Amino acid sequence: MPPTPIRRRAALALSVALLVPLAACSGDGKTKEGTTGATGSTKAPAADLTVLAASSLTDVFTTAGAVYEKSHPGTKVRFSFAGSQELAAQVKQGAPADALVTADTRTMDGLRSDTGTPSVIAKNRLVIATGGGNPKKIDGLADLSDPTLKVVLASPEVPVGRYSRKILDAQNVVVRPVSQEPNVRAVLSKVELGEADAGLIYRTDASSATERVDAIEIPDAQNAIASYPAATLKGSKNAEAASAFVAWLSGPEAQKVLQDAGFQKP
């Protein structure tokens, strides 16, 4: 006896009900990239990312990149470190990259037409770096005006160079540097090698070389706060993956890495 219309409709409804759960998940329980699974987490698409980052982030971002790759299988993060002014020039010249992290908001603000909306991921402060044991007995900023001292600063085009001159000018301390370096790591290197008696660098950079340099703290009232904004680059060919990485930098996993390295909360 042929099925009635009512029986045909009932059979069709049952088939649809059975197929929906099968379409919702795969046999291994995995969800497609970019979708939200049972845990509520969103997976970023795998990609090879290039991130332009300030020199003072060299050590901490090397660690952070490894942590990110471990929690995002299939993604590789390659960093290009340089002074923020050099990074800005690379962006303006169209260098292929996916994200940018500078050591100041001024440099990032000058690239508004090339970036997404930036967010500050960390902060830092300056210290006076001296040779191990502080052989010249430098106690504070005022001592840097001693003409017998060899003091090295970063170039005024570099964020740490601008911060340095800002705090020196505020204290009416006149310094005639023996050299002006292209980034903070070059300043640190001069002090490490004994080519300078002192230099102004970030606290975190001094922490990376405690066996070779001493860090003389600068009181908060005389110091400057460096802010590190991060943003995606509009020219990125991996926009979704770049956005996920930049967002991750403000999350708890990355923040722990940054703060363990001595960076301050944003």
**Confidence grade of residue 173 (pLDDT, cut at 50, 70, 90):** very high
The two domains 48-123+227-260 and 124-225 share their CATH topology (first three levels equal): yes
What pLDDT was estimated at residue 45? 87
Distance of CA 263 to the CA centre of its chain: 11
What pLDDT was estimated at residue 210? 86
- Is the pLDDT reported for residue 264 higher than 60? yes
What CATH class does 124-225 carry?
alpha beta
**Confidence grade of residue 208 (pLDDT, cut at 50, 70, 90):** confident
Instruction: Report the distance separating Cα 199 and Cα 177, nearest Å.
Output: 9
Share of the chain above pLDDT 70, in %: 84
Q: What is the CATH number of domain 48-123+227-260?
A: 3.40.190.10
Which secondary-structure segment (H or E) carries 256? helix 252-260
The structural domains of the chain, with segments of one domain joined by +, span 48-123+227-260, 124-225
- Residue at token pair 């260098």: 95
